[in-house]
């Protein structure tokens, strides 16, 4: 049986550009939205995503990433992902063999555990609230969201993350996208200040 070296995912990475629309690589009508999800998505589109929690400096959640760089710190038992933008927050991915707690507190980032499958880090995340959006376009999810991410390094300059969304309330069946980020070897995270309840200029004027 072939043995695979576990790649080092550490470093600063550019956003892959899916914050505006996580489904940008999908064909029209391909996303299997439930009637509830489709109605909510159309409502958010109609009001120009004015209630997007990210624009009010609330956490992005998983699998959404803002347009700013992020930093991965990898150890044998824990992977940390630090985010420059939004609320300057972080994710913890536990690699020590633990499972998900039986009584999860539903929160913004969920609870993430990971394991290596060859040269791929597979991350399983559950325990979400329903307050985040999957993107600025307004694709919704419920508190039944289950996200699986598969992290690989195709080469030294790229990080590939295949993201599978499984939410039986919002979508008829699981669906996946793959985001590829480029390495920023000379970059580090910069300070970013975001105050809750801030609004972008577009929404400062009532319509």
Phi-psi region of 48 (alpha: psi -120 to 50; beta: other; left: phi over 0): left
**pTM, full prediction:** 0.91
Q: How many structural domains are present in the chain?
A: 1
pLDDT for the residue 198: 55
Q: Taking residues 180-204, report their average pLDDT.
A: 77
Domain membership of residue 153 (yes or no) is yes
Q: Which tokens hold the place of 85?
A: 């933008």
Q: Can you give the residue range of the structural domain that contains 148?
A: 11-23+50-188
Q: What is the CATH number of the domain that holds 140?
A: 2.40.128
Q: What is the pLDDT, as a whole number, of residue 205?
A: 45
Q: Is 157 part of any domain? A: yes
Kindly state the average pLDDT of the residues 63-86: 94
Residue 39 forms part of a structural domain: no
Does 171 map to a domain? Answer: yes
The verdict on residue 32 lying in a domain is no
Buried b (16+ CB within 10 A) or exposed e, 158-177: ebbbbbebbbeebbeeebeb
Q: What is the mean pLDDT of the chain?
A: 92
- Asked, for residue 45, whether it belongs to a domain, the answer is no
Instruction: Render the burial of 113-128: b for 16+ CB within 10 Å, e for the rest.
Output: bbeeeeebbebbbbbb
Residue at 62 is within a domain = yes
Alpha helices in the chain (DSSP H): 35-46
């Amino acid at each position: 049986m072939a043995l695979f070296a576990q790649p080092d995912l550490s470093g600063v990475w550019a956003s892959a550009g899916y914050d505006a629309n996580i489904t940008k690589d999908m064909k029209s009508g391909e996303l299997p939205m439930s009637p509830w999800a489709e109605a909510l998505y159309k409502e958010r589109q109609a009001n120009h995503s004015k209630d997007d929690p990210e624009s009010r400096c609330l956490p992005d959640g998983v699998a959404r990433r803002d347009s700013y760089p992020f930093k991965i710190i990898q150890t044998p038992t824990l992977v940390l992902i630090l985010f420059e933008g939004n609320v300057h927050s972080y994710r913890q991915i536990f690699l020590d063999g633990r499972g998900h707690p039986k009584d999860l507190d539903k929160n913004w980032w969920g609870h993430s555990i990971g394991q290596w499958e060859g040269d791929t880090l597979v991350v399983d995340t559950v325990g979400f609230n329903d307050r985040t959006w999957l993107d600025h376009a307004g694709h919704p999810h419920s508190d039944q969201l289950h996200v699986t991410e598969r992290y690989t390094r195709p080469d030294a300059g790229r990080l590939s993350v295949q993201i599978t969304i499984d939410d039986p309330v919002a979508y008829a069946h699981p669906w996946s996208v793959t985001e590829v980020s480029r390495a920023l070897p000379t970059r580090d995270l910069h300070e970013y200040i975001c105050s809750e309840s801030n609004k972008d200029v577009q929404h400062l004027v009532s319509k």
